[in-house]
Chain A
């Protein structure tokens, strides 16, 4: 039944594309599709065993190459599917105001969602790659057609970075397919295959970086801020909320499962780095601090959020590279949490503020007294900001805490640096909040700028996302019950062996 989330999304995309000029029909159809996808996911998850990699569909596809159409899900996929469902609905609610080529917008949007569902459900490496690429193409059009600042540049950069990443993944995929000699692209079979010595040391980093590019890994992150800024609100919500998770999911599910030996020590040291694990943990930590620091000095509101995404995704990668159960649990929870929070932040900046004021410059926003003009947006941003800096009670707290605990076991120094990143995170969030919403008026006692009121779809979307981050923050088991058994499953045995657990 889970597989229907994919089919519904693609069918919806096709239908929406055919609606022609009926903008409101396209909107409602898109919302219905996203809602149906989410409902199907939730219903199907109720009967899913989180600790088992349960096959949902398995059909021979290309027997001559040993490729199957094989869908399966476990707890980790479950969490990310849920995130996709929620983000899809929220994104549509926040793009209710799109009236330029509406049907095309939602068609690309739903095609993207369908691809994302597909990636999270694929149990066959070839199939995963197919869905992964399907998810990349619509991104380009969403950003290039409906975007704002330097949209064509941002879109092209985004697309090229993604395609370079996926080219690296494809090389790794073919290499693993050939080297395993198994004549199959089934993920589990390939993960248990024996590769020649040294193979993993070459191709693990290739695949990890290939996916890592999309996860915003420093120094390959530079597509993310420009892409986010150029993208229309819904697209930046999806980019930060879901698409960057595709990268992180690929790092975990493909790179780390397939070639865990690549994480083993090299046997020699270069600049204190003794394995690819050290290298990527360093890159992740650098990303955390670098992203946070740059967010601190931005003048464009959306760039602040864009760089904060890089910083937060650094936690995901750091958690993965801790190679501890706690750390990986935390990383997956952080994927979910950041997906929700980043979506909320982009919604405030892109939809609530920018479409009303037509500026994202913090200096210009200040005098408008936004907190008095649109108090709803201000409150939302304050709450989302609190969630983003990891205050207890919001989902960011249990996620980043677990990542830090996991990382402490392996790299105390990196953990300290990541902690520093959190402190900077408080600073940039506070600064952005202060400058944008609570600035002093240019003339004392001037009335706040007159702005259109917040619409109902925006409110609904806000409540949906806030409920998720609060719910998970107050009761993390809601999500952890899916993640923990999945990470503890025999599926990750290879990884545990390398980590020496």
Chain B
């Protein structure tokens, strides 16, 4: 074992350290100086502080050199991993900025700090190839998420969601840990970078398949793949908007990236054994996510089921080798922007109309043309309508998938067919926003125009423009990812 170079370790974890300090600073400032001020100010100060921290951390990410094999792969920094970290930072910044108008809690400092802790967990998750560190950072992420899900104490739904999330999450963590321990027992190492080499030499054993299947099940929970998705609709609906936003985006991005690393580690040989499992998850997710979404009448629940469907599409990438990784990350990133935006719009409507049922969105185009336009862009992007980012992400993923797995082309056909089905529920959202007149939807007058703070407007508009721009010029981001992936191997 190499002697541990503490300085190198500190250098490599600089981004996380900065975030850690920021989180503590947010806590201290809020508790020490802002207890008696209004929430409006507290949220703003907290958001501003964490924004500084996130920017600083992003600089640190840009500055650190790629590192491999530091302390038995406890910290592994690749160009692609750096891009994913930047993505995580960016998404979290959006979540926190969109949280500024929230009034959900009196514990503002704790709330923002917990989001930052979750961010730290996800950051470490993408920069390690060590089973123990993976599990620890995953728990840091999950525990923070359980708490921020429950954070709205006035809402019984919030507590219910958190309890469900916690119980299912705990089970998945147990499964995952069991899988990890089997992997460790079989390979005698915690370093998954060297695991692949060990498994290649070993005879094929059922225990190994069991271990990998347990890992898949654990991650299936985490990314809400059907039939392991039961927590998702309740959490998406019950959690405070910024929490739901984070769970739907950053946590997913990190999990997918890590899942990729894990599968790559167990080697080619196992693919034969786990392919049917992955195909099963993908197919069930696509079918169940899209079909169940058809019956929903709440925007957040629709987003939850659509997330399950998207997970199904994304899982296709895991059936292919290395070349599809940039496409996968592009997909998750662009999807995350759209989902963040959609939750942002939903949060505003909820605060002023009292709920996120579809009928609460009636006449949105009259109440706030800008919000309606942003929602239109986000929803159409999720539906995969060109020239928006979501369409290109799908096309790219499917084209590469078909190219590398021609015999599985029916999966692409199924995915595209299910996207056509998904149009129905996406159009239901837009129908409320654009088509329905208030007089038709019910007696309550929702026609009062929405008041939206300037900064929120700007952020949502920025998200919408990003979705359009990434759809028209995907090469800008995809080129970066391609290059990073190329240099990562």
Q: Cβ of A104 and Cβ of B365 under 8 Å apart?
A: yes
B189 within 8 A of A: no
Q: Cβ of A133 and Cβ of B391 under 8 Å apart?
A: yes
Specify which chain B residues have a CB less than 8 angstroms from the CB of A61 in the assembled complex.
475
Asked whether A164 and B402 contact (CB < 8 A) given A61-B475, A126-B395, A133-B391, the answer is: no
Q: Cβ of B424 and Cβ of A62 under 8 Å apart?
A: no
> Which of B395, B413, B434 has the most chain A CB atoms inside 10 A of its CB?
B395
Q: Cβ of B474 and Cβ of A171 under 8 Å apart?
A: no
Task: Please give me the residue from chain A that is nearest to B402 by CB atom.
Answer: A178
Cβ-defined partner of B434 (8 Å) among A141, A156, A167, A171:
A141
B387 within 8 A of A: yes
Task: Please give me the residue from chain A that is nearest to B383 by CB atom.
Answer: A163
Distance in Å: Cβ of A263 to nearest Cβ of chain B: 22
A137 within 8 A of B: yes
B175 within 8 A of A: no
Q: Cβ of A175 and Cβ of B386 under 8 Å apart?
A: no
Q: Cβ of A137 and Cβ of B385 under 8 Å apart?
A: yes
Task: Please give me the residue from chain A that is nearest to B409 by CB atom.
Answer: A175
B329 within 8 A of A: no
A129 within 8 A of B: yes
Asked whether A164 and B409 contact (CB < 8 A) given A65-B396, A145-B434, A152-B431, the answer is: no
Instruction: Give residues of chain A (92-112) contacting chain B, Cβ–Cβ below 8 Å.
Output: 104
B478 within 8 A of A: yes
Question: In the complex, A61→B471 CA distance in Å?
Answer: 11
A500 within 8 A of B: no
Instruction: Give residues of chain A (148-198) contacting chain B, Cβ–Cβ below 8 Å.
Output: 152, 155-156, 159-160, 163-164, 166-167, 170-171, 174-175, 177-178
Asked whether A65 and B434 contact (CB < 8 A) given A167-B416, A170-B416, the answer is: no
Q: Cβ of B386 and Cβ of A133 under 8 Å apart?
A: yes
Distance in Å: Cβ of A59 to nearest Cβ of chain B: 11
Specify which chain B residues have a CB less than 8 angstroms from the CB of A174 in the assembled complex.
395, 398-399, 402, 412, 416
Q: Cβ of B386 and Cβ of A134 under 8 Å apart?
A: yes
Specify which chain A residues have a CB less than 8 angstroms from the CB of B255 in the assembled complex.
none
> Which of B406, B423, B430 has the most chain A CB atoms inside 10 A of its CB?
B423
Instruction: Give residues of chain B (358-393) contacting chain A, Cβ–Cβ below 8 Å.
Output: 365, 380, 385-387, 391-392
Task: Please give me the residue from chain B that is nearest to A137 by CB atom.
Answer: B385
Task: Please give me the residue from chain B that is nearest to A181 by CB atom.
Answer: B403
Specify which chain B residues have a CB less than 8 angstroms from the CB of A47 in the assembled complex.
none
Cβ-defined partner of B412 (8 Å) among A145, A160, A171:
A171
A421-442 toward B: CB 8 Å interface, digit per residue (1/0)?
A: 0000000000000000000000
Q: Cβ of A133 and Cβ of B385 under 8 Å apart?
A: yes
* Chain B contact residue count (CB 8 A cutoff): 33
Asked whether A152 and B387 contact (CB < 8 A) given A174-B398, A177-B399, the answer is: no
Question: In the complex, A137→B423 CA distance in Å?
Answer: 10
Q: Cβ of B423 and Cβ of A160 under 8 Å apart?
A: yes
Question: In the complex, A170→B398 CA distance in Å?
Answer: 10
Asked whether A141 and B435 contact (CB < 8 A) given A62-B474, A64-B479, the answer is: yes
Instruction: Give residues of chain B (432-461) contacting chain A, Cβ–Cβ below 8 Å.
Output: 434-435
Distance in Å: Cβ of A188 to nearest Cβ of chain B: 19
A370-402 toward B: CB 8 Å interface, digit per residue (1/0)?
A: 000000000000000000000000000000000
Specify which chain A residues have a CB less than 8 angstroms from the CB of B403 in the assembled complex.
178
A63 within 8 A of B: yes
Question: In the complex, A342→B121 CA distance in Å?
Answer: 62
A144 within 8 A of B: yes
B420 within 8 A of A: yes
Question: In the complex, A104→B409 CA distance in Å?
Answer: 41
B482 within 8 A of A: yes
Cβ-defined partner of B475 (8 Å) among A62, A137, A145, A163:
A62
Q: Cβ of B417 and Cβ of A167 under 8 Å apart?
A: yes
Q: Cβ of B420 and Cβ of A163 under 8 Å apart?
A: yes
Distance in Å: Cβ of A406 to nearest Cβ of chain B: 34
B419 within 8 A of A: yes
Q: Cβ of B402 and Cβ of A175 under 8 Å apart?
A: yes
Q: Cβ of A159 and Cβ of B398 under 8 Å apart?
A: no
Q: Cβ of A160 and Cβ of B424 under 8 Å apart?
A: yes
Specify which chain A residues have a CB less than 8 angstroms from the CB of B163 in the assembled complex.
none
Distance in Å: Cβ of B379 to nearest Cβ of chain A: 11
Asked whether A130 and B387 contact (CB < 8 A) given A62-B475, A159-B423, A177-B399, the answer is: yes
A120 within 8 A of B: no
Q: Cβ of B386 and Cβ of A64 under 8 Å apart?
A: no
B320 within 8 A of A: no
Listed A/B pairs (30) with beta-carbon separation below 8 Å: A62-B478, A64-B475, A64-B479, A65-B396, A104-B365, A126-B395, A129-B386, A130-B391, A133-B386, A133-B391, A134-B385, A134-B386, A134-B387, A137-B380, A140-B427, A140-B430, A141-B430, A141-B434, A145-B435, A155-B435, A156-B424, A156-B427, A160-B420, A163-B423, A170-B416, A171-B416, A174-B398, A175-B402, A175-B409, A178-B403
List chain A positions with a Cβ less than 8 A from chain B: 61-65, 104, 126, 129-130, 133-134, 137, 140-141, 144-145, 152, 155-156, 159-160, 163-164, 166-167, 170-171, 174-175, 177-178
CB-CB nearest 7 A-B residue pairs: A167-B420, A130-B386, A144-B435, A163-B423, A178-B402, A163-B420, A167-B416
